[in-house]
Structure 1
């Protein structure tokens, strides 16, 4: 794997600039990385955290291609650096249309399988197209061991997954304990990290037996389990594992039409509507066990808690943050709801008529979550950064200008800074 040069030791991390961070972090201890080249619209910053390996991997863009580098989370020491890597040639018909979406830019994701952790570089485009051949549309996955070392590291394997993406579809690649999952609309493909074996799911609309008598639409496969894929669908409004369970079997009392909002191998996050009109402004938000469908924790909150309203910047709900888990998987934050999955408790932070709505973005292993107030009624009103202890449920306003962590890792928080059109990720240690 890679060449035989000694472990990387002559590329020190950048020194941490002065930051205003929450009290749980030590602004004098940490390091940072500045992205010297990025896509015009970096909708997804090319960086990923390896929880097991306690590492941060990112992409560098150069004249001959991209280089993946991995650094120790705590110290910033460079562990390994790859040879030049390039995604496939973009699909011509969609290249211009998707230039602002980040669809054709390369990405990174961490995947785990068989007790091992991997860094996966992926890109979407065409393979084998020339004057005499039409070629085929693929997602290229280059899989690196997260515990590699040295310079010139090469992938343990590269897998080209035949995969067509419609113009209106969003391509996603997930890395979970069951390998890699590629999805776009109702089409999905799973990839075994260790063998490279690919399994295609051509149409998720046809997988659930509940769809046999009622046409399903907009079905997706957000996650894989040991029992098979979880399918989320419209038409019969629900989600489940074909041949094992369906969400309506586990609906909270008086609730129906479960809507899957986010998924990991360990947890499914969903909202449930009231059956009648008397409580139509309230939804039940629940965390389900993916293997059984059973509810592990729930909370009643406004239906706007995750899917509606304005965010902490006063902009439309399209910027509402995705669900985010703590590195140890115990805590979940999603918009204005949060869960402690060990204690099986939920928390609603929509406000009480006087207190403003709070939107959460990240949560650490200590159970402290971070976000800000949402100026829903006053355009241009400045958001106040907030820390919330999920043990007490009490929010605390932080000084204006305090930065909140963008990503979480064991014992550290990642903060995005943008000065003089230079985007940096600062990794700051907890106290």
Structure 2
């Protein structure tokens, strides 16, 4: 049964909701498996046949058509421009293979060769990066070399595949310590959690090392030199932050890009996605709501200019990590935790209860303006697992709707198909594509 959450008020840019918490239950089911990959190409899948697993999903999707991949790796990546999805499967000898499919039809696309990973017990991580009107799927792993008395040397191994035809390039980058690898700009960024970074060009495999000593700080910004961290890459260069304030090397400075009503020296970036930066700001001292609220702003990553802002109550206890931003395929909508932004319409929403507590966590958003999440979920991953009070939100209506307790939420949508993840009783991961009905 569906219940609607009543929208009570919009005051100071904050949408206040009475959130209804639902009991937690999980759906079941089982499906077939190819098991370990045998190296043979997959047969084309017909979307009219429908996947074997029928989950309970939002009514915008049909389970009577679609596709299903069984025993896939935990990561997948999507090219929205081509509608192609890439996923990993294990192969004999401790190797792995990257496979692709068309998300609209379910038909198999190109498949990479079986390759080794530095850690045969773990599959690589997978991401998408774009440069010069080309897109690439990238797998990456961290490993060490050296035996006996020889000190182990760390390295990051990357396999770069052209999204269109699977053209492959391998790049290995020497690295000390556990790396963080992201793709928010036109390259693959490797960082150490501080100010040291390396950028790999996906087109030619070029490696650019940027040591911490090469960081240039904005003038008159002592906070920039404290807790300096590389946050991501933009089309104009690396985005860095200090204990407060943030900037792009050789580009813009947050102090000159503060949203209206904010203390220009208080900005902290919390999440970076291609083309956009989500930042938290303190209201200017002496202004209304300065003591109890924060300003959340989406910035253009190229210019630094504010795109849209919203005010939320400041949490009683600062979280250890902030929610990651998620954007719709066309980048019109962005959600993060209990925040939601219509970037084209210039509207921001903060969903919290009357006491200012955030009881809603968004996990995905579509180009049609539908966002999906859950109440009483610690983060987006927990919201997607089901059973924590699933909800949907309509940007055009500005309303939140409670879904039945066992509803599975789409992790993303591309080419009119929602992608769902589910693990069966044999601990096999299923990737399932259900088409949107409207």
Whole-Å separation in 2 of the counterparts to 1:164 and 1:66: 25
After superposition, the Cα gap between the structure-2 partners of 1:384 and 1:106, relative to the gap in structure 1 and judged at 3 Å, is same
Taking a change above 3 Å as real, the CA distance of residues 211 and 48 of structure 1, as seen in their structure-2 partners, is: farther
Contact 2:311 2:350 in 1 (8 A): yes
Which secondary structure state, in structure 2, belongs to the residue aligned with residue 231 of structure 1? strand
Shift of 1:306: 12
C-alpha change, 1:213 and 1:110, in structure 2 (3 Å) is closer
Alignment of 1:172-187 (within 5 A): 172-186=180-194, 187=196
Question: Does the residue aligned with 2:137 lie in a helix, a strand or coil?
Answer: strand
TM-score, normalised to structure 1, is 0.80
Partner of 2:402: 397
The alpha-carbon distance between structure 1 residues 307 and 52, as it changes in their structure 2 partners (threshold 3 A), is farther
- 1:138 counterpart (144, 147, 155): 155
The answer to whether 1:108 aligns with 2:95 is no
Q: How far 1:34 moved relative to its partner?
A: 1.9
Q: Which runs of 5+ in 1 are unaligned?
A: 1-6, 39-44, 91-98, 309-316, 377-381
1:217 equivalenced with 2:226 (yes/no):
yes
Aligned equivalents of 2:70, 2:187: Cα separation in 1: 30
**Which whole-Å deviations, capped at 9, do the CAs of 1:332-368 have from their partners, x for residues lacking one?**
0000111111112111111235997221111001011
2:92 — aligned with what?
63
- Provide closer, same or farther for how the CA distance between residues 199 and 209 of structure 1 changes in structure 2, counting only shifts above 3 A: same
Where is the strand percentage greater, Structure 1 or Structure 2? 1
Q: Does structure 2 retain, via aligned residues, the 8 Å contact 1:34–1:424?
A: yes
Verify: 1:303 aligned to 2:299, yes or no. no
Shift in alpha-carbon separation, 1:369–1:238, aligned structure 2, 3 A: same
Would you say 1:414 and 2:425 are equivalent positions?
no
Cα distance between partner residues in 1 of 2:112 and 2:161: 9
- For residue 288 of structure 1, give the secondary structure of its aligned residue in structure 2: strand
Q: Distance in 1 between matches of 2:419 and 2:159?
A: 25
Partner residue, 1:30: 66
Task: Specify the alignment match of 2:429 in structure 1.
Answer: 423
The Cα shift of 1:12 comes to 4.0
Say whether the 8 Å CA contact 1:369–1:389 is kept in structure 2. Answer: yes
Contact 1:205-1:233 at 8 Å conserved across structures: no
Say if 2:273 and 2:326, in contact at 8 Å, map to a contact too: no
What's 1:240 paired with?
247
Match of 1:264 among 273, 289, 294: 273
The CA distance in 2 between the partners of 1:405 and 1:54, in whole Å, is: 16
For the pair 1:124 / 2:153, whether they are aligned, the reply is: no
Counterpart-to-counterpart distance in 2, 1:354 and 1:231? 30
Give the one of 251, 257, 275 matched to 2:258.
251
Structure 1 residues 68-87: aligned runs within 5 Å:
68-87=98-117
Alpha-carbon distance between aligned partners in 1 of 2:103 and 2:299, rounded to the nearest angstrom: 31
Deviations 1:253-288 (CA, angstroms, capped at 9, x unpaired): 243411101112311100112343863321100011
